[in-house]
Each structure stands twice: as structure tokens, then as C-alpha cells.
Chain A
Amino acid sequence: GQQVMQIPQYQHVQEGEDFTTYCNSSTTLSNIQWYKQRPGGHPVFLIQLVKSGEVKKQKRLTFQFGEAKKNSSLHITATQTTDVGTYFCAGYSGGGADGLTFGKGTHLIIQP
């Protein structure tokens, strides 16, 4: 079945540093979504990317979808303590039985 790999598993940064998490799918995706889960909370939808090579920005967050639609990245500029949490990518290949497949997430830990 479809697999979505995400790295790194954990990332420690100093407040103010940048952060990037990478996502790679075993199959071509029709869309990819990103979610954030705060400690003790539930995943919250951030954004969806659909087009090959698409780049979207939300304030300090930049999301990219690869040209082959098999990889994606999330980059946070100048991290703040409010960015703490686990960031998940989730991909859908379309037409299959796998549903929306989540990566295992990157835990972002920020040291003040």
C-alpha cells in the first residue's frame, strides 16, 4: 500500500532558528495536506497542495509540493514557542483503498 515517509522524526531548535520537515511518498499523489498537532491535542489542518511544483505561504510557513508530486516540505522561518508541536504530512494518491495516508510526523521542540 501507499507509504508516506517523513523526516526528521525530532527536531530541536533554538527560538528564532528556521525549521524544515520533509515528506516523501512511495506513489504519485493527487494532493498533499499538512497538519499540526499540539501536545495533548488533535491534528489541525494547515494547508493543501494540489499542483506540481506548487508553493504556498502562510506568514512564516512555506509549503512546497515537488514537481513529480511525490515529495513535499514545510519550512518555518524564525521559529517561535507557539510553533511547538508535531507536524504531519498526509497524502492521497486517488482511486485507491488507502484513504489519506499520514506520515509519522516531525516533533518540533523549541528551546527558548
Chain B
Amino acid sequence: KAGVTQTPRYLIKTRGQQVTLSCSPISGHRSVSWYQQTPGQGLQFLFEYFSETQRNKGNFPGRFSGRQFSNSRSEMNVSTLELGDSALYLCASSLAGTEGYGYTFGSGTRLTVV
């Protein structure tokens, strides 16, 4: 079966711009989580959506937002980009989220802010 699909794979944006990243989870998976990965901070939790509702949110500024659609596809948006937002953004899907199922990660979107 198809894995978790993230688009685009690579993105270069200018400071101050905004960006939208997309994630299509594995068919049947209702939970989608987003993580930011950087060499210094590792994997940092952004938010988790389950059945279109944000269930958990990490410690990121309000410039980071997300949503989930009825088909479980998810998007995350970063507004007013800063240089420090350069990172690998990973989406992960799960049958039901953190209660007891492992996550399947996508290949990520590499965002570079210049």
C-alpha cells in the first residue's frame, strides 16, 4: 500500500514569505502529526490532528498552523518565514495517534529560508 506522501520535497523561500506543506497519510490512518527536524534540536513536535481536530500542539509560535481535511490529508502553514525555520518538516500518520500505534513517516519537505 502507498506510504505517507509529502509535497513538495524541496522548497526555497525568502524571509517574510509564507509556505504551505502537504501530507497525504496512509489510507485508513486518521491521525497525522507534524515534526520539525534540525541538526541542533532534533525532532520537535509541531501538532497532531485526528479526525479533523487538533488534538495536541507543540511549543511553536502561532506562525505555525495546520489543518486536516475530511479525507485525513493534512496541510501545515508557516507565515512570515524566518531564517531559523529552515528545516526538514516531517509528517507522520498513524491509525489512532499516540495511544498505541507506531507512526509511519513521510520522506519530508526540506524547507530552506534565504
A31 neighbours in B (Cβ, 8 Å) = 98-100
Encoded as 1 (CB less than 8 Å from any B CB) or 0, chain A from 4 to 30 comes to 000000000000000000000000001
Q: A43-B43, A92-B98, A105-B42 are in contact. Are A100 and B103 (CB under 8 A)?
A: yes
B48 touches A (CB below 8 Å): yes
Q: How many residues of A contact B (CB 8 A)?
A: 27
Q: Look across to chain B and name the residue whose beta carbon is closest to the beta carbon of A100.
A: B98
Do A99 and B47 have beta carbons less than 8 Å apart?
yes
The one of A33, A94, A103 in contact with B42, judged by C-beta atoms closer than 8 angstroms, is A103
Output the least CB separation between A46 and chain B (Å).
8
Q: Give Cα A43 to B44, complex, Å.
A: 13
B99 neighbours in A (Cβ, 8 Å) = 30-31, 92, 94
B8 touches A (CB below 8 Å): no
Encoded as 1 (CB less than 8 Å from any B CB) or 0, chain A from 74 to 110 comes to 0000000000000010101010111111111100000
Encoded as 1 (CB less than 8 Å from any B CB) or 0, chain A from 34 to 54 comes to 010000011111011010000
Q: Give Cα A11 to B41, complex, Å.
A: 19
